[in-house]
Amino acid sequence: MRDDGFHVYDTTLRDGAQQEGLNLTVADKLIIARRLDELGVGFIEGGWPGANPKDTEFFRRARTELDLKHAQLAAFGATRRAGAKAADDPLVAALRESGAPVVTLVAKSHDRHVELALRTTLEENLAMIRDTVSHLRAEGQRVFLDAEHFFDGYRSNPAYALEVVRTAAEAGADVIALCDTNGGMLPDELADVVAEVAAEGARLGIHCHDDTGCAVANTLAAVRAGVTHVQGCANGYGERSGNANLFTVVGNLQLKRGYDLGVELREMTRIAHAVSEVTNIAPGSQQPYVGMSAFAHKAGLHASAVKVDPMLYQHIDPELVGNDMRMLISSMAGRASVELKGRELGYELSGDKARQVVERVKELESAGYTFEAADASFELLLREELDGERTRYFEVESWRTIVERRPDGVMVSEATVKLHAKGERIIATGEGNGPVNALDRALRLALERIYPELSALELVDYKVRILEGAHGTDARTRVLIESSDASGEWGTVGVEDNVIAASWEALAESVTYCLLRAGYGVS
């Protein structure tokens, strides 16, 4: 558990998910929460239980499936309805029952929003805050308050905006996060307002959006003006121009302002990319600290001087955030992380071997592979480098898939594989609801008689990303497959021009890895 003196509060799973094109399943949310916990954030806002079934399920599954080391879960929700009691409000009940140790209540602090959007009186809005905060506190949860549209509200009616802060604090809210909901603020005006509110004495937080390109600077300005709780999203996800990028904020605070937030910055680049694999949104190569290009040098002028002293041309040592100056040649992986990863998988790598693996990974990454979400492919690669040959349980002769929409509207997908295993030549044909499914079935049908363990193999997720998006279906295709058997999950990756060929590669690696796990020696 973190020291409570300064809060790093992540809202990727709630406010970040408002981003256009970002749709997270419950399983996605659980994975992202684990990554954020590894990074060492203090709070993870999981969603709005009660308001939508997916978020309710997230909190339910989190109880048994999420074993957080550092972070506490926060459930987001609104103050009770006008004219009712918090104790009787079903949405407040859902917050209580979420099991989250923290509830973050959103409340209106802008007079016009109370009147026009909430359609109640200013006084009733205060009563709603007072009643909901004190009710949840009495029921044993810690309460933070998001003061929505705070800065616009302060401009419109400062006395009322302050009254909201005061009411929430008196009712027992531990933190009042001032939200620049429309994102229109610039740092100095924002800092002036924060300083005035801080004079009231309540503990303050800050929640910024990037509509002026100043979300990070606004957050830092608020910290300087006295807030001790910063909200943001992984990779700057969020509605419109996004929320404050939490990675940039903590990088700046720890490396430039000397805060010790307990964030594992050395894991930050890896985690930023792992999160973007889950969201299936291409990681921003220019992203400060963690972007692929963040420490990439192109200027010829620089290149020679970089050799003399790299720090002449870098604002920080990229290793501090797990990034790499040679990112142009690619690769997140330094030798140290390869050694570490190898050890994690049970392989002791000498310096030379590790270097060799790093080279191989760099080469493959520049061809479009990624191993963040493909442990199994990485392990097969590692074994290949150590053993001098690829682990293989079968040899492919050929395969073919046909997908047809017949004149009567019926869809038919069929695949045939021809392969050699244990000295036999096997031909099998499978049908499926799509070409990959048909290929998967044909491959297993061919192998299950020889390797019965494959019957436990299940594909749990299948993701496709087109690389170098400029040419649509003409581009290179990366397929990530997540598989499981009775005792665990693993990921594999395939990259080809052709989506079916990339899928085949990832499928075949998954089957190989399944057999490796089952203890088969190499044939």
Report, in Å, the least distance between residue 1 CB and a second copy. Answer: 29
Q: Examine residue 105 and tell whether it contacts a second copy (CB under 8 A).
A: no
Residues 164-223 within binding reach of a second copy (CB under 8 A): 181-184, 186-188, 210-218, 220-221
Q: Single out the residue of 349, 287, 288, 344 nearest to residue 316, CA to CA.
A: 288
Count of helices and strands (H, E) across the chain = 17, 14
Residues 156-175 within binding reach of a second copy (CB under 8 A): none
By beta-carbon proximity to a second copy, the closer residue of 339 and 440 is 440
| Options 13, 26, 169, 179; binder of a second copy; rule CB under 8 A | 26
Report the 3 state secondary structure along 32-83: HHHHHHHHCCCEEEEECCCCCHHHHHHHHHHHHHCCCCCCEEEEEEECCCCC
Cα dihedral 460, 461, 462, 468 sign: negative
Residues 380-409 within binding reach of a second copy (CB under 8 A): 396-407
Q: Examine residue 314 and tell whether it contacts a second copy (CB under 8 A).
A: yes
Q: Examine residue 445 and tell whether it contacts a second copy (CB under 8 A).
A: no
| Options 370, 377, 391, 512; binder of a second copy; rule CB under 8 A | 370
Q: Examine residue 240 and tell whether it contacts a second copy (CB under 8 A).
A: yes
Q: For a second copy, how many residues bind (rule: CB under 8 A)? A: 127
The SS3 of residue 140 is coil
Retrieve residue 394's tokens.
Answer: 């079968």
Q: Single out the residue of 373, 400, 396, 376 nearest to residue 464, CA to CA.
A: 373
Q: Single out the residue of 137, 151, 136 nearest to residue 189, CA to CA.
A: 151
Q: Examine residue 305 and tell whether it contacts a second copy (CB under 8 A).
A: yes
Q: Examine residue 486 and tell whether it contacts a second copy (CB under 8 A).
A: no
By beta-carbon proximity to a second copy, the closer residue of 134 and 156 is 156
Q: Give the contact letters, 326-365, x = binds to a second copy (CB under 8 A), - = no.
A: --x--xx---------------------------------
| Options 20, 67, 352, 389; binder of a second copy; rule CB under 8 A | 20
415 bridge partner residues: 401, 430
Q: Give the contact letters, 414-443, x = binds to a second copy (CB under 8 A), - = no.
A: ----x-------------xxxxxx--x---
Q: How far apart are CA 514 and CA 453, in angstroms?
A: 8
Residues 58-97 within binding reach of a second copy (CB under 8 A): none
Query: CB of 368 within 8 A of CB of 506?
Result: no
Q: Examine residue 299 and tell whether it contacts a second copy (CB under 8 A).
A: yes
Q: How far apart are CA 149 and CA 156, in angstroms?
A: 10
